Structure 1
Amino acid sequence: MEIQKIAVVTGAGGTLCSEMAKDLARQGYHVALLGRNLDKLQIVEKQIGAAGGVAISVPTDVANEESVRAAKEVIQRELGICSVLINGAGGNQMEALTNTTEFDERELLDDGSVKGFFNLNMDVFQSVIDVNTMGTVLPSFVFGKEMARHKRGVIINIASMNSFRPLTKVGAYGIAKAGIANFSQWLAAYLAPAGIRVNAIAPGFFLNDRSRKIMFNEDGSKTARAESVLGHTPQKRFGEAAELLGCMNWLINDDAAGFVTGIIVPVDGGFLSNAGV
């Protein structure tokens, strides 16, 4: 089967990857929208359709191999073979975050006064690692195999500032995103003989439904966390989803980035350039 402009976007119901999916559709890609929440996927699908594009919604648990394989069969039957894979599914859970940045004796009491590392729910901690790491590995495994058969394709993983630095409070997410950076480089070297380029985009601090609860109080004022983030971001603002599109479009373009593989590109308003001192 001939490879056409077929893009698979996981986490496509989310703030960042929905914009990526819509931009790919504007460029003529037929887009498969993957995620666990069908309602959110269908909102994006309708937006793409209204703009004249082609998209299908495929409910998928990207951390489950059989679910990803089933999605691949649907996509190949309805659209064709994936030529661009955006691994954007992931995210964090509030139950996996500490509310302190360093050890506090009160967390040993486990009375709820402090949520530190020692009274986190390890099942939730593990689930954050699974959805981010295996949720990137499994689509790469399933869709990458078909790319390898045809000796071409592009995979873009979504990394994070946590891929470069261990940010406070988010231990599980940090483990996962550091792993994604390493996996992206490993996979890039491994798949180079198959004609597949693998890179990662590392967004800085972009707002979505989950992060807004962390960055803003109910009255709309910034939390201490938000003030700290913006204080370390030279551009003094949060990113907008559309600001990831230029990087994505460069990385998927075989003419512009044909010799680019195995890199993690920060799109962070200067966050990594600022030591905070």
Structure 2
Amino acid sequence: MSKVVLITGGSSGIGKSIGEFLHKKGFVVYGTSRHPEKITSSQFPLIALEVRDVQSIQKAITEVISKSGKLDILINNAGVGITGPIEEIPIEEIKNNFETNLFGPIEVIKAVLPQMRLQKSGTIINITSIAGYMGLPYRGIYSASKGALELITEALRMEVKPFGIQVTNVAPGDFATNIAAGRYHAPLLNGSAYERAYGTTLSMMDAHVHSGSNPEEMAEAIYKIIQHPNPKIHYKVGAFLQKFSIVLKRILPDKWYEKMLMKHYQL
């Protein structure tokens, strides 16, 4: 029987690319969207799911299991970007980011685990970010939410391994998707103490996304992970320099690494 895959945030960007790739490989793929009725071009079924709403999550998982009789693979992909000086980002926007990037994925995991335990098998793949390995200027909240999901994955992996369930992280770098359009930007305020530095960094971040890698790279990486009988804890997918930045953080003194980042961001 074909394996059943659920991808949160499967209507665009990386999630859509993963879904299309796995669909062509013969997997039974379900994607999620907050408004699936607005999407008319999906190659696989889309189910309504809002990761900040526990009832919506439970309903979506129940629908997948009732239609397919099982759920083999969860790809926790739904997430949102956020930029701005930490001092100037409204606390409501910080909470919203953590609700979407951390608490939502945790609730989806909690909803699928009973079925995977029943099956004595399953794979959970959390899409994090290379930004989650370091505190990046004007992306501190995003880095923190994705970094927290990395650590949750490490702990969860040990807790559910006795049930035959595999858990892993995949941290992408910059990919050419529409994430910048959906990102919350703290407004660039005239006269702000951060006006020049934040403006420069914001332009640089958007340029990185627009010139990013092809999302199909992520789809191919996910496919290989699914095929592996014992996946690693962490995977990084992206440009060499982005992945190498994690290595540098491990080996360089903290202040050297900080100086390197500040030079990169022209701070």
TM normalised by structure 2 equals: 0.78
Matched-pair contact (CA < 8 Å) for 2:125–2:170: yes
Deviations 1:234-266 (A, max 9, x none): xxx52110011221011101xxx2122422434
Would you say 1:269 and 2:240 are equivalent positions?
A: yes
Q: In the alignment, what sits opposite 2:36?
A: 38
Q: CA deviation at 1:231?
A: 11
Rounded to whole Å, the distance in 2 between the matches of 1:125 and 1:226 is 18
Rounded to whole Å, the distance in 1 between the matches of 2:52 and 2:7 is 14
Q: In the alignment, what sits opposite 2:220?
A: 246
Rounded to whole Å, the distance in 2 between the matches of 1:123 and 1:213 is 16
Indicate the percent of aligned positions where both proteins have the same amino acid. Answer: 19
Q: In the alignment, what sits opposite 2:160?
A: 191
Higher helix share: 2
Structure 1 unaligned residues grouped into runs of 5+: 49-54, 99-115, 215-222
Would you say 1:117 and 2:86 are equivalent positions?
A: yes
Rounded to whole Å, the distance in 1 between the matches of 2:60 and 2:89 is 33
Structure 2 unaligned residues grouped into runs of 5+: 184-198, 249-259
- Distance change in 2, residues 1:212/1:36 (3 Å): closer
Q: CA deviation at 1:267?
A: 2.9
Q: Return the match for 2:149 from 180, 204, 221.
A: 180
Matched-pair contact (CA < 8 Å) for 1:203–1:268: no
Q: CA deviation at 1:202?
A: 0.7
Rounded to whole Å, the distance in 1 between the matches of 2:133 and 2:216 is 23
Deviations 1:99-157 (A, max 9, x none): xxxxxxxxxxxxxxxxx332321101110011000121111111122111111111111
RMSD, aligned α-carbons: 2.7
Deviations 1:20-42 (A, max 9, x none): 01111111111111121324554
Q: In the alignment, what sits opposite 2:190?
A: none
Q: In the alignment, what sits opposite 1:158?
A: 127
SS at match of 1:201: strand
Q: Return the match for 2:173 from 170, 181, 204.
A: 204
Structure scoring higher RCO (CA < 8 A, sep ≥ 6) equals 2
Would you say 1:66 and 2:55 are equivalent positions?
A: yes
Rounded to whole Å, the distance in 2 between the matches of 1:213 and 1:128 is 12
Rounded to whole Å, the distance in 1 between the matches of 2:173 and 2:212 is 8
Counterpart AA for 2:154: Q
Would you say 1:87 and 2:85 are equivalent positions?
A: no
Q: CA deviation at 1:212?
A: 6.3
Matched-pair contact (CA < 8 Å) for 1:85–1:155: yes
TM normalised by structure 1 equals: 0.75
Question: Number of aligned pairs?
Answer: 233
Counterpart AA for 2:215: A
